[in-house]
Structures are given as structure tokens and as C-alpha cells.
């Protein structure tokens, strides 16, 4: 049975709507176009800034590849358009609050709409919400740490030569902050909104699979060779070249192990939301995974060897053994649905 709290547009359990999926497709293509237009000006502006007045910030930014700027431009578009998307999906009832409380100012009404939106998304900053976050953060850490420990045992890996106690704390704090930020932002978009768009259009199982496939598609790592020409030219045409390969590069460089790892991770995050009825659970698991992954990749030199196909590399998601871990956890979390007992 479909859960009412996951349905958009006030749908009943027996009603379906593709409206959310249509808006999602429009916004995704819009982000690609925005990135293609903005990447070259942004990239070249930073380089010019670094040449005229070099500092720590622009020196760091100059070191980023052209496609990284494209990716960040897409996220800028997502941030700018997210309030409108939330309003379309019914997460920001600003107009309704203004009608019910005409004496409330615009700022107060917006804050009220934001609070309602967070509640509808499944974000709770109370004791229960943070409890869900902590438990699933720990689970994400444990699963990812298991894959990391296996790599340390069975693959060629050693501590970075410049490592120190100070660097250790810097890495840990940075990885935790990144996990917290990425977990919140990506889960609000993927499980908070995109999953609900599919959930409102199709059966629950299909919604989980479609959301996870889209998650894997958008996170699929393309070979650097696809973007080599764009990095060399860094002009307006290069932006459209990167946009093309972002959309279709997966067909040229498909890696089933990487895709299936990401797909299973997406399944786990969807099931975390469904089982606990709290987006904080998905945010926590995502954050725990990122925390361990970044702590590992920034602390160790990970050499390429023949064992990588089994145990994976810095990103964890390119090994067969991590895929077995994630598949096992997916089946474990899905077991109540095979026995018709749903945990809420």
C-alpha cells in the first residue's frame, strides 16, 4: 500500500500523477543548459582573477577542472530553482499561510511555510529526528568502513607521507562537515523531492527502482578522457560539449559495477525513508557514507592494482565486494515488504 506522506499534490493512495516527473525532467534539462551557458564565463573569470590578484581561494579554484565548474553551475541552478520546485510540489504553502494569517508579514509567512515544508519532507530537528539521523549515520559508517578495512587488508594502500595529528583532525572535521552538508542537500533533492515525484506516478517498488537508477545515472563517474578537449579549450562550445557528455557519457563509458553500487546505495536511502518515515534517516546514512569515504581518500594513497575490481578504490563504489555489502543491506531492509510487515 502506498504511503500518503510520500504522495504529492494531495493525491489519494489510488490516484497517480506524472506532473512531478514532468517538472523534474524540465528542471534537470534546465540545469544542464544553465551549466553549459555559465561554465566558460565562470571558469575564465576565476583564472583571470587568479592572474591579476592571486590568493589562497582563487589558487584553489584554478586547480579545479572545467567539468567541475560545470557541475557546480548545475548545483547553483538547483539551489536557485529549488524554492519554486518546492512550491510546485506543495512543500512551501506560502500563499495558504498568507490567506489563513493575513496579519502575518511576508517574512513570517515564508518562515512558517519553510517550517511546514521541512515537516512535509520528513525533516525533524527534534529528539526523534536526530535519533534517526544518528542511528543511520552509524550504519552508513559501519558499511563503508567495512569496505575500507577490506581495501586496507587486500589492496595496495598506504598512509600519505605528509600525514600528521593536525592533518588527521583537519581531515575528520572536514569529512564530517561535508557529510552533513551533502547528506542534507542531496537527500532533500533525491529522496525528499525526486523520490516523491516517482512515488506519485508509479507503484512504490517502481518508484524506488526509478529513483535509484536516476541517482546512479547522475552520480556516475565518467572517464577524464571524455572531457579532455573541453578542459583544453574552455570556451563557450566546450560548455555544450561537457553538457552532451554529462547526458550521454554513461553510454560510452558504462561500468556495471559502479552503476550497480550507486543503484544499491540509492535503494538503501529510499528504504531508509520508507521504513522510518523520516528523511533524517536517509540524510544520516548518506552523511555517514561520505564521512568515511572522504576520511579514507584524504588520508591514504590508494594505488591501482589487480585487486581493485574486487575491493574498489577511493570512491568505494567501483568494487564487487562493496556491491555485495550494499546488495545484502538492501535485501535486509526490504525484508518486511516481502513478508507484508512494514515498519513505521
**Model confidence over 302-311: pLDDT tens digits?**
888 788 889 8
Are 281 and 135 in contact by the 8 Å Cβ rule? The answer is: yes
The x, y and z cell numbers of residue 210, run together, are 526509478
How many other C-beta atoms are found inside a 10 Å radius of the C-beta of residue 50?
17
In whole angstroms, what is the distance from residue 134 CA to residue 137 CA? 5
Q: Give whole-number Cα distances, 164 to 88, 171, 177, 228, 291, in Å.
A: 50, 10, 20, 35, 19
Greatest mean pLDDT among 67-76, 224-233, 279-288: 279-288
Q: Give whole-number Cα distances, 86 to 23, 28, 81, in Å.
A: 11, 15, 9
The x, y and z cell numbers of residue 275, run together, are 521504513
- Tell me the pLDDT band of 343, cut-offs 50, 70 and 90: very low
The predicted pLDDT at position 95 comes to 64
Partner residues linked to 302 by β-bridges:
157
Whether pLDDT at 63 is above 50? yes
- Tell me the pLDDT band of 84, cut-offs 50, 70 and 90: confident
How many other C-beta atoms are found inside a 10 Å radius of the C-beta of residue 302?
19
The x, y and z cell numbers of residue 333, run together, are 531492509
CA 259 to chain centre: 14
Whether pLDDT at 103 is above 70? no
In whole angstroms, what is the distance from residue 320 CA to residue 19 CA? 37
Q: Where are the domains of the chain?
A: 124-220+255-344
Q: What is the percentage of the chain residues whose pLDDT exceeds 70?
A: 93
- Tell me the pLDDT band of 99, cut-offs 50, 70 and 90: low
Q: Cell numbers 562493496 correspond to what residue?
A: 322
The x, y and z cell numbers of residue 307, run together, are 585487486
Mean pLDDT for all residues in the chain: 88
H helical segments located in 64-203: 66-89, 94-100, 106-121, 127-154, 165-187, 195-199
The predicted pLDDT at position 19 comes to 94
- Backbone φ/ψ region at 258: left (φ over 0), alpha (ψ -120 to 50), beta: alpha
Q: Cell numbers 578504490 correspond to what residue?
A: 313
- The angle subtended at Cα 92 by Cα 89 and Cα 94, nearest 5°, is 130
Q: Which tens digit of pLDDT belongs to each residue from 294-337?
A: 999 999 988 887 888 898 888 888 899 999 999 999 999 998 87
Burial group, residue 109, by CB count within 10 angstroms (0-12, 13-18, 19+):
buried
The x, y and z cell numbers of residue 98, run together, are 498568507
The predicted pLDDT at position 207 comes to 96
Q: Which tens digit of pLDDT belongs to each residue from 211-270?
A: 999 999 998 877 777 788 887 888 999 999 999 999 998 888 888 999 999 999 999 999
Whether pLDDT at 143 is above 90? yes
Rounded to two decimals, the pTM is: 0.89
Amino acid at each position: 500500500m502506498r504511503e500518503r506522506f510520500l504522495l504529492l499534490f494531495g493525491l489519494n493512495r489510488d490516484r497517480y500523477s506524472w506532473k512531478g516527473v514532468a517538472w523534474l525532467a524540465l528542471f534537470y534539462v534546465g540545469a544542464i543548459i544553465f551549466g553549459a551557458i555559465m561554465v566558460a564565463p565562470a571558469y575564465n573569470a576565476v583564472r583571470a582573477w587568479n592572474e591579476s590578484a592571486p590568493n589562497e581561494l582563487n589558487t584553489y579554484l584554478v586547480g579545479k577542472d572545467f567539468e567541475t565548474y560545470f557541475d557546480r553551475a548545475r548545483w547553483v541552478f538547483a539551489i536557485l530553482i529549488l524554492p519554486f520546485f518546492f512550491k510546485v510540489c506543495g512543500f512551501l504553502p506560502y500563499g495558504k499561510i498568507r490567506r489563513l494569517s493575513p496579519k502575518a508579514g511576508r517574512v513570517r509567512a515564508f518562515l512558517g511555510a519553510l517550517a511546514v515544508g521541512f515537516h512535509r519532507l520528513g525533516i525533524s530537528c527534534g529528539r526523534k529526528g536526530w535519533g534517526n539521523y544518528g542511528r543511520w549515520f552509524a550504519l552508513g559508517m559501519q558499511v563503508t568502513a567495512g569496505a575500507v578495512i577490506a581495501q586496507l587488508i587486500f589492496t595496495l594502500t598506504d598512509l600519505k607521507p605528509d600525514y600528521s595529528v593536525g592533518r588527521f583532525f583537519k581531515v575528520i572535521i572536514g569529512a564530517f562537515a561535508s557529510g552533513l552538508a551533502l547528506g542534507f542537500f542531496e537527500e532533500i533533492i533525491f529522496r525528499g523531492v525526486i523520490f516523491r515525484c516517482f512515488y506519485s506516478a508509479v507503484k512504490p517498488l517502481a518508484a524506488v527502482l526509478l529513483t535509484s537508477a536516476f541517482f546512479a545515472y547522475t552520480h556516475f563517474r565518467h572517464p577524464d578522457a571524455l572531457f579532455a578537449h573541453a578542459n583544453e579549450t574552455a570556451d563557450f562550445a566546450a560548455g555544450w560539449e561537457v553538457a552532451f557528455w554529462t547526458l550521454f557519457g554513461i553510454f560510452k563509458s558504462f561500468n556495471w559495477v559502479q552503476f550497480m553500487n550507486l543503484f544499491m546505495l540509492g535503494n538503501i536511502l529510499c528504504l531508509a525513508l520508507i521504513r522510518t518515515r523520516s528523511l533524517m534517516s536517509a540524510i544520516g546514512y548518506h552523511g555517514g557514507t561520505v564521512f568515511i569515504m572522504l576520511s579514507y581518500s584524504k588520508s591514504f594513497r590508494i594505488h591501482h592494482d589487480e585487486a581493485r575490481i574486487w575491493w574498489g578504490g577511493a570512491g568505494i563504489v567501483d568494487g564487487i565486494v562493496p556491491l555485495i555489502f550494499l546488495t545484502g543491506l538492501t535485501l535486509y531492509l526490504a525484508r518486511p515488504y516481502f513478508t507484508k510487515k512494514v515498519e513505521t
